[in-house]
Structure 1
Amino acid sequence: MIVTVLYMLSALTGLNKGIKFLSTSNVVVAILLMLFLLFTGPTNFIMNFFTTTLGRYISNLPEMSFRMAPFNEENAGWLQGWTIFYWAWWIAWAPFVGMFIARVSKGRTVREFVTGVLLVPTIFGALWFSVFGGSAIHLEMNQGVDIAGVMAELGTETALFTVLENFPLSGVMAGLAVLLISTFFITSADSATFVLGMQTTNGELNPDMKVKVAWGLVQSGTAAVLLWQGGLTALQTASIIAAFPFAIIMILMVFSIIKAFREEARIYTLKRKKREQR
């Protein structure tokens, strides 16, 4: 309920106020938390871990993208629970995230868009996982902290706080982590509320408050019902079901954007020739 109220307030204040403030604060807190672990933890190990895993990821990405493990049921189950699920998860988010990023990127060039949306977040994400994952692995391997046991007994969610317990200012860092998790939820939900408002008002760049309130309540109610009926599994299943039809649309969008770029290039060429003839 608290998260619902906060993300609705953020969405109601508009793009340049609540949403911008929360998003900026979110990034700042995330960077500070990451840098704290990086420089107070095993810095050399983490950077080596980052370089190695990033290189392995890039080199193995084509093979991993087509891996389905048809001859190994255990591996197939892991792929379904992680790789395929997160593909579907992000495809389900694509309509909201895509439109929201397009809205805030108005006036940017394609090069700026690709750099800001694809390259920078990818590198930052790799560094983030290297810092937190590398810290956990280092604690497990070299300091005897049973991170895997904690995950098996108490759940994956508790592993973060187990890691933070082994760093200076653990209480403060745990508080920042909780704050960060909350703001991630809020910023995701307020942007979705904003985009849904745009979609249902014929593309209005600043939807009416009543529309945003309505969509905020619908989102909150839907999530609550799914969690109440089947827990997180029901929510994940609903995401995958919603993602399937949009996956087909995304394939068509690939051809659409290629066509749009070609048309824009043709128009640009014609304008340049006209200027040269003057």
Structure 2
Amino acid sequence: MKNNYLKFLKEKVDWPVFSISGGILVIFVLMSMFNVDGVTKFVNTGFNLSIKYFGAYWQLLLIATFLIGLVLSFSKYGNVRLGNLAKPQMSFFKWAAIVVTAGLGAGGVFWAAAEPMYYFIDVPPMFEGIKSGTEQAIGPALAQSYMSWGFTAWAIYGAISTIIIMYAHYNKGMPLKPRTLLYPILGEKIRHSAWGTFADVVCIIGAVAGTIGPIGFLGLQVSYGVNAIFGWADTFSTQVLIIIALTAVVLVSTITGIDKGIQWLSKLNVNMAVCIAIFLLLFGPGEFIINSFISSFGTYMSEFANVSTYRADQEWLSYWMLFFFGWFIGFGPLVALLVARVSRGRKIREVFLLVSIIASVTTNFWFTVLGGSGIFYELNNAGSVSGPLLDNGLPAAIIAIASQMPFGSVMPLIFLILTVLFVVTTVDSMAYSVAMSVTGEGDPPKLIRVFWAVVMAVIAIILIKMGEGGVGALQSFVVIAAVPVSILMLPTLWYAPRFAKQMAKEQGIIEEDTDVIEGKEEYKRFLPSKIKNI
């Protein structure tokens, strides 16, 4: 039995991809251990160059991805079913919970509380003439948060890339890997192409780096939180224990697979967030949240073109909007793989609406629940949220907000639990997606899934030990990885509609190009008899 399993691993695991991606991470950690300042300087330089030369391209890529997905979904091609199944494998709620929580991830608490407040106390430059920290700043602050986590950003998570992945995998037998995005260009060669190896490696590095960061920040945030709530020592030992506990939960979920562990965690995440939202609407600043969401969403829609194409203040862009866009792109292919894995039997229209519209609007409302509550408390007690945020960073923001909510003595603990759940779901989903990327299997071996979950946790612990500089450098590294990933995703703009058309023909949604065929037959009448039948 053991020999058969080892043989299976040897045959299924793409060892060049596994070794190169793992080796790069090890090199990064070793270099950080010896010279974290040098690594930070190197990463910051790469970060700035990436933003400078690719920032405008990223903005256009996200807009184009969203618009093409929108047109496809509301055309006759939107009726195409993906994955060679006549009906969906999963119920809508399970499917939606997995996609939303995997895409939102750690940002569901880290940034939902802090980002609107940052924009409130320093209004984004495209909203000129609005004074920071006033009621007039509410709309721009929340609207800019909506843009960072909005329609165009979410679209990169598979709104059209899943069309290529699912067609190539389920219809043509290609592996369930990032390299499958190159199938329209390289065809069968992509299985063993060096370009395929490169594509897999950069996508894995981007997603893993982006996952390790939240694990590290979780250790820091929960350690800060338990210190503030229970008085426990905010030390490295506490942070390590928190990460070990998180990893134990991840391992249980990872071993049980996508149909049990990931589904259960995703549903728990969503249910808990919904309960908190309802509680705050009923007993907290509910009227303020609803009014702010409606008016701010109106600002987001009316200023959509202006904000999404803003290019004036490069320094602001690099630290805010383009930073988030780079993150979405870096995670894009692996989240799209997960979406492809759980969306079998869904229509193109359903996938687009969930990924780009439902997930986006849900995220925006959740940001209003947390970030909007923070703004409400800040307006009523200046400095009560902004002070802790500026002094102690992201961990302090959610504690400061939660402590002012009804039942403020227990709400910080509830949000710490929610933070852990969000991060656990992120790690679990990405470990599964990375395992798919190195095996090409929709149900990759448990050992590979466990390996990546443990590796990400261990690297996070090492980087915390070196100080926040190491974790911060890895966070910024995601943006660098987004450069090759964004180039990889460019062909989807052209080939996704072509594959949608091909599947529409195969499924009888549209007819073959009969006009061309009839024209060919008409033309044959004038040919010599010897070549009529060619």
Provide the TM-score with structure 1 as the length reference. 0.88
Instruction: Choose which of 212, 216, 237 in structure 1 pairs with 2:476.
Output: 237
Instruction: Choose which of 257, 274, 279 in structure 2 pairs with 1:14.
Output: 257
Q: Secondary structure at the match of 1:171?
A: coil
Conserved? CA contact 1:96–1:191, under 8 Å: no
Q: What amino acid is aligned across from residue 187 of structure 1 in structure 2?
A: T
Conserved? CA contact 2:284–2:406, under 8 Å: no
Distance in 1, matches of 2:509 and 2:391, equals: 66
Q: Say yes or no: does 1:133 pair with 2:371.
A: yes
Q: Which moved more, 1:5-14 or 1:227-236?
A: 227-236
* Map of 1:276 onto structure 2: none
Conserved? CA contact 1:3–1:186, under 8 Å: yes
Instruction: Choose which of 253, 256, 260 in structure 1 pairs with 2:492.
Output: 253
Distance in 1, matches of 2:367 and 2:280, equals: 12
Distance in 1, matches of 2:457 and 2:375, equals: 36
Conserved? CA contact 2:460–2:471, under 8 Å: no
Q: Secondary structure at the match of 2:410?
A: helix
Q: How does 1:20-59 map to 2 (within 5 A)?
A: 20-59=263-302
Q: How does 1:137-152 map to 2 (within 5 A)?
A: 137-144=375-382, 146-152=384-390
The 3 A distance-change label for structure 1 pair 269 and 16 is closer
The 3 A distance-change label for structure 1 pair 254 and 223 is farther
The 3 A distance-change label for structure 1 pair 61 and 16 is same
Provide the TM-score with structure 2 as the length reference. 0.47
Conserved? CA contact 1:227–1:234, under 8 Å: no
* Map of 1:211 onto structure 2: 448
Distance in 1, matches of 2:346 and 2:382, equals: 49
Which string of whole-angstrom CA distances, capped at 9 and with x for unpartnered residues, describes residues 238-263 of structure 1? 11111110001111122121111122
The 3 A distance-change label for structure 1 pair 49 and 99 is same
Q: Which moved more, 1:257-266 or 1:182-191?
A: 257-266
Distance in 2, matches of 1:215 and 1:90, equals: 21
Q: Which moved more, 1:34-43 or 1:20-29?
A: 34-43
- 1:4: how far off? 2.2
* Map of 1:122 onto structure 2: 360
Q: Say yes or no: does 1:60 pair with 2:295.
A: no
The 3 A distance-change label for structure 1 pair 95 and 142 is same
Conserved? CA contact 1:140–1:147, under 8 Å: yes
The 3 A distance-change label for structure 1 pair 118 and 62 is same
Which string of whole-angstrom CA distances, capped at 9 and with x for unpartnered residues, describes residues 108-143 of structure 1? 111221222222111111111112222222212234
Higher helix share: 1
Instruction: Choose which of 395, 400, 424 in structure 2 pairs with 1:157.
Output: 395
Distance in 2, matches of 1:135 and 1:103, equals: 36
Q: Say yes or no: does 1:175 pair with 2:418.
A: no
Q: What amino acid is aligned across from residue 482 of structure 2 in structure 1?
A: A
Q: What amino acid is aligned across from residue 63 of structure 1 in structure 2?
A: N
Give the total of aligned pairs. Answer: 267
Larger Rg: 2
Q: Which runs of 5+ in 1 are unaligned?
A: 70-74, 274-278
Which string of whole-angstrom CA distances, capped at 9 and with x for unpartnered residues, describes residues 84-121 of structure 1? 11111111111221111111111111122122222211
Q: Secondary structure at the match of 2:320?
A: helix
The alignment's C-alpha RMSD in Å is 2.0
